[in-house]
Amino acid sequence: MSTSITIPRPDDWHLHLRDGAMLAAVLPETARDFGRAIIMPNLVPPVVTGAQAGAYRDRILAALPEGMAFEPLMTLYLTEDTDPTDVAAAHASGLVKAVKLYPAGATTNSASGVTNFDKVRPVLETMAEIGLPLCTHGEVTDNHIDIFDREAVFIDRVLDPIRRSTPGLRVVMEHITTANAADYVRSQDSDLGATITTHHLIINRNHILAGGIKPHYYCLPVAKREEHRLALRAAATSGDARFFLGTDSAPHTDENKLQACGCAGCFTATNTMPLLAHVFEEEGKLDNLAKFASENGPNFYRLPVNAGSLTLVKNEAATAFPSHITSEDGPVTVFDPGFPVHWKVA
């Protein structure tokens, strides 16, 4: 016996594709299921200008396998030297759909991020005027702030002041990991949205640390206590238009993950949709999967919902997902939820 659900073709509102050989290896894993994705700009060097975003988009489309339909939605990396005029032109051309804020040192390839927020105020004011969203990696980077508290501190110290001083600025809190963040989103107006990852719906900090360190569950923002995971599940499955899918799927080779100072990131592009069907079914909210994965994100970004569809089927036998994706740079481990999943994409 099997059951199925059909939803509009989903989008990923937070995705890392990298570049070169890694791009070629991981792009098909997203394009197989997703119609569009917000592409992160934290390359080396970062994607700072409209011209650089256009060149990166060309490389993505060149790497797309024949017969696959996928639209990369480009972003700019916000630095203290970002030119508001260039941002406005890139947005007006239709190329750039958001600007990404990385506090300096917050995560992978974030050294060029923002330290002095007063220096980026002209850019933020321009974005508010033209309706271009700001995507935030919501963590402070002060060494004396506990890593499990950095998201909550960011809301109070950085995000809320930015929003109060820049009326009309549309903001996406990316990959939220705490009940604090979910509550803050609910307390605000429709200019604020939030993405939630697949893996933060499944793992808590015990998965990383209990019984030995599990590097493939290490990500930034780091997974929090179980109470926060449950709060994220409630938010994601609620149908609330302010919450939508952003996988933050972040490929790193095993060589770079399995070392004394391993890279942060979970690679979930391959199996996100079956995992989400499992989670939403567990919560008794399978009917809200389309809102979270297919509808809320386009509505926030003021884009149409995809015309195509995706069907997920639940079978009696567990679905076998690959353990790795191969690339010329080395193998990339696919996120393992740690339990059998009976859903698959038809």
248-271 tens-digit pLDDT: 999 999 999 999 999 999 999 999
C-alpha gyration radius of the chain:
19
116-171 tens-digit pLDDT: 888 999 999 999 999 999 999 999 988 999 999 999 999 999 999 999 999 999 99
Strands 324-325 and 332-333: antiparallel
Cα–Cα nearest to 57, from 97, 29, 89: 97
- Provide the pLDDT for residue 342: 98
248 is catalytic: yes
Structural domains of the chain ordered from first start: 3-345 (3.20.20.140)
- Provide the pLDDT for residue 306: 98
CB contact set of 118 (below 8 Å; sequence gap of 6+): none
Q: Residue 133, Cα to own-chain centre: how many angstroms?
A: 14
- Provide the pLDDT for residue 244: 98
Find the catalytic residue in 189, 248, 254, 287.
248
- Provide the pLDDT for residue 141: 87
8-56 tens-digit pLDDT: 999 999 999 999 999 999 999 999 999 999 999 999 999 999 999 999 9
